[in-house]
Amino acid sequence: MDETAAGATPKAALTSVMALFASAGPGGLVVRRLLPAAVGALVVIVFLRLEGPQLGLYGTEVEILLLTLAAGGAIAGLLFYFAFRLDRDEAARGEAEGALRRSSRYFDLSSDMVCTAGFDGVFKELNAAWTETLGWSEAELCSRPFVEFVHPDDRETTEREATGLAAGGVTVNFMNRYATKDGRWRWIEWKAIAILEEGLIYASARDITGRKAAEAALEASERQTRQILETAHDAFVSIDADGLITAWNPQAEANFGWSSHEALGRELAATIIPEAHREAHRRGLEHFLATGEGPVLGKRLELTALHRDGREFPIELTMSDLETEQGFSFNAFIRDITERRASRELLERQRQQLIEAQSVGGFGSWEWDLVTGTIERSDELCRIYGLEPGSHPGSVEAMAPAHPDDRARWQSDVQATLESGAPLSIEFRIVMPDGSVRVMHSRGELVHDEHGTPLRVIGTTQDITERHELERAKDEFTSIVSHELRTPLTSIRGSLGLLESGVLGELPAQGQRMVEIAVQNTDRLVRLIDDILDIERINSGQIDMNPGPCDARELIARASDAVAALAAAANVSVLIDAEPVHFSADGDRVIQTLTNLISNAVKFSPPASSVRVSCSRRDGEVLFEVSDEGRGIPAENVETVFGRFQQVDASDSREKGGTGLGLAICRSIVDQHGGRIWAHSVPGHGATFSFLLPAPVGDVADRGPST
Ligand code: ADP
């Protein structure tokens, strides 16, 4: 029964009647039409019943009429009832249709993918979101079992989930991958329920591919961060706002002796901070949390840390703060700088030792930066130059000798080092601030970058004034003695020669041998004295160089002739490779130089090897080179061998019959010509002696060979 008509209070019944009357439905229409007629009939019946007899309107017709009216009333009542039912059913149907229309709108409008599927594993109905997400039409999705759209790796779990649903289960947050029409995969998250009576699964699904990708990216980045921290060479430590350790990487374990298992959750201060600094750390943390002020945050600090075994060691640390939903945390990279500090201290000690050594040895060091053109000088060097230590004029000119006579040579020697890369070794005079003149000896070496570009020259300068004075005095003495010896020696040699030749009579065999030895040694002594006098005369300018037209090839030929007998005796071949270079020089002196170099090369060559002599024209210069395949010269001697009486090995003079003056004479001759001489050697692989003499193009080159 309907509740409106039956179970209601009179008031409610009246309300529903009024509603029916006002209703736009068919019931309302019928009621509105019939009600006036029913009311009219009722009025007529009541009137006839009350007034009929008095008016004589009562009888069979009236009875029939009354019955008819009563029947009409009953019919009207019934009609009223049915109209009422009709109207209510119509309203209910309309409402149901409205609800259906609304839910179908929700179904279509939902951005989630909504669907029903049968227990046969096939979709029955899908909303538009499915096509939007996967690209398949509804018909395509409903044409085959849904599991066929699922990624092969997810099929098993999908089937298990569907079986569970069919058995009355509920699916929440189940995930699988669905194929899109263009061949890709999308991650779908499901909520579903099965209605067993309907044989249908109702499901709502959501495309979570983006979320999955973001989660994967986050996970990868977290993994990467973890890996970085685990393999970092620095210790990484985090603490929370309470100062408790929340991160502790393997390097932290190694540095501080606490395993991560032990360290996590411990108070940082009590773990790695020496007792004396703990309070300061705690106060700093409190201060930051209260005020936001952290003066040490983000700065590189050098502190002392505590190892688990009680040992304290220096660390370098940078700390930063991070505020998250969980509150503040502080992260720090910590480096054990024990070794660095030790090497810094060692370096400082060595620097001090170097300063002391420089001051004791009376030499200073310098570094000339070729890029900026500035020169760095040690304090001792400043002292040597008579300047205040620490006064660094910065320009290379500060290194240049102030003595005008030496300036040009100084510049050309430095230039030559820069161009050829040969070691620098120059003696020059400087005028001190008090006007006195002092002699300096600078040595330097060129430093290149990896492309061979010269970067700087580093070297030392020593005040050799006293030594120079001594050497001068010694030379003077030697020269005087030599002069005094030369004349009696010549006469001794003459007498011995006469004795040896037998002009004065036959000597006994033993006497003859003794005289021969005496002749050999006297010759050696004469050579030595000649060399000493020679070098003395060249250096003191007593011997003027007599320049004249020279042909380099001819000079080489004459020099090699002079050593031909020596070469033959040593079984060494002298090979000549000379260009026809014409230039102006003192030919005899150049031959003397070449003879010296070639005879040295022959002396130090193994039998059956070759000595090569070459000459070629360079930019305004002629280059002579003499190379051999002998034992070579150690790097530390390539420069010193040009000094007087300098020999690589003390036995050289005995075994090879040298005086140790040959190369010094060569250098003097070359210097007097304004040239340069140097040696280069790879020990064990021979030596090359080179010298350059000025040969300006067009000087004598066009005049043809000299006679
Ligand atoms: P010496 O009269 O002793 O040869 P030098 O001044 O000519 O004097 O040479 C000095 C020293 O240089 C030699 O004693 C030798 O030790 C070394 N020297 C010179 N030339 C060569 C060379 N071609 N190979 C190896 N060492 C050499």
Q: Are strands 454-463 and 437-448 parallel, antiparallel or unpaired?
A: antiparallel
Sign of CA dihedral 129, 133, 135, 139: negative
Q: Is 604 in the pocket of ligand 1 (CB under 6 A)?
A: yes
User: 566, 602 in Cβ contact below 8 A?
Assistant: yes
Query: What is the mean predicted confidence (pLDDT) over 311-327?
Result: 90
- Would the pLDDT of 309 be above 70? yes
Ligand 1 atom index nearest CA of 646: 10
598 within ligand 1 shell (Cβ under 6 A): no
More confident residue, 676 or 37: 676
The reply to whether ligand 1 has any atom less than 6 angstroms from the CB of 686 is: no
Kindly report the backbone phi and psi dihedral angles of residue 436, in degrees, each rounded to the nearest multiple of 5, phi listed first: -75, 155
Please indicate whether residue 340 or residue 26 has the higher confidence score (pLDDT): 340
Task: Return the ligand 1 atom nearest residue 659 CA.
Answer: 2
Residue 586 CA to ligand 1 center (angstroms) comes to 24
- Tell me if residue 228 falls in helix, strand or coil: helix
- pLDDT greater than 60 at residue 4: no
| Residue 375 and residue 397 in contact, taking contact as beta carbons nearer than 8 Å | no
First to last CA, the chain: 153
- 402: exposed, middle or buried (Cβ count in 10 Å: 0-12, 13-18, 19+): middle
Out of 598, 648, 689, give the residue to mutate to test ligand 1, the one with the largest number of ligand atoms within 8 Å of its CB: 648
Select from 600, 603, 638, 656 the residue to mutate for testing ligand 1; criterion: most ligand atoms less than 8 Å from CB. Answer: 600
pLDDT in tens, 238-289: 999 999 999 999 999 999 999 999 999 999 999 999 999 999 999 999 999 8
Sign, CA dihedral 640-642-643-649, equals positive
Q: Which residues contact 515 (CB under 8 A, 6 or more apart)?
A: 496, 499, 500, 507
The pLDDT value given to residue 572: 96
pLDDT at 51: 77
Can you tell me the mean pLDDT for 519-528?
Answer: 87
Q: Can you tell me the distance from the alpha carbon of 357 to that of 359, in angstroms, rounded to the nearest whole number?
A: 5
Average pLDDT for the chain: 86
The predicted structure's pLDDT at residue 372: 86
Residue 632 CA to residue 679 CA, distance in Å, equals 10
Q: Is 582 helix (H, G, I), strand (E, B) or coil?
A: strand
531 CA from centroid of ligand 1 (Å): 14
Strand pairing category for 610-618 and 573-578: parallel
Average pLDDT over residues 19-45: 73
More confident call, 75 vs 551: 551
According to DSSP, residue 423 is labeled P
Residue 2 pLDDT exceeds 70: no
Instruction: Judge whether residue 707 has pLDDT over 50.
Output: no
- Give the pLDDT band of residue 1 (cuts 50, 70, 90): very low
44-48, 279-283, 611-615: which has the minimum mean pLDDT?
A: 44-48
Tell me which of 647, 653, 665 to substitute to probe ligand 1's pocket, judged by most ligand atoms within 8 Å of the beta carbon. 647
User: Alpha helix locations (H) across 426-464?
Assistant: none
d(CA 482, CA 75): 172
Instruction: Give me 227's structure tokens.
Output: 């890996």
With the most atoms of ligand 1 within 8 angstroms of its CB, the residue from 613, 663, 682, 688 to mutate is: 663
pLDDT at site 3: 41
In the reported structure, the alpha carbon of residue 693 is separated from the centroid of ligand 1 by a whole-number distance in angstroms of 21
CA 274 to chain centre: 35
Position 43 scores a pLDDT of: 81
Give me the mean pLDDT over the 567-580 stretch: 93
Q: Report CA(600)–ligand 1 centroid distance (Å).
A: 6
pLDDT-derived band at 653 (thresholds 50, 70, 90) equals low
Q: What's the 689 CA to ligand 1 centre distance in angstroms?
A: 10
DSSP 78: H
Assess whether the C-beta atom of 662 lies below 6 angstroms from ligand 1.
Answer: yes
**pLDDT: is 369 or 396 the higher one?**
369
DSSP 504: T
Q: What average pLDDT does this structure show over 410-435?
A: 86
Query: Which band of pLDDT confidence, cut at 50, 70 and 90, is reported for residue 404?
Result: confident
Least confident range from 55-64, 518-527, 644-653: namely: 55-64
Give the mean pLDDT of 200-205.
92
Q: Is 192 a pocket residue for ligand 1 (Cβ < 6 Å)? A: no
pTM above 0.75, yes or no: no
- Structure tokens belonging to residue 248: 């502790």
What is the mean pLDDT of the segment spanning 467-496? Answer: 85
pLDDT of residue 25: 67
Q: How far is the CA of 627 from the centre of ligand 1 (A)?
A: 13
Return the pLDDT at 7.
46
Return the structure tokens found at 701. 């080159």
Tell me if 601 CB under 6 Å of ligand 1. Answer: yes
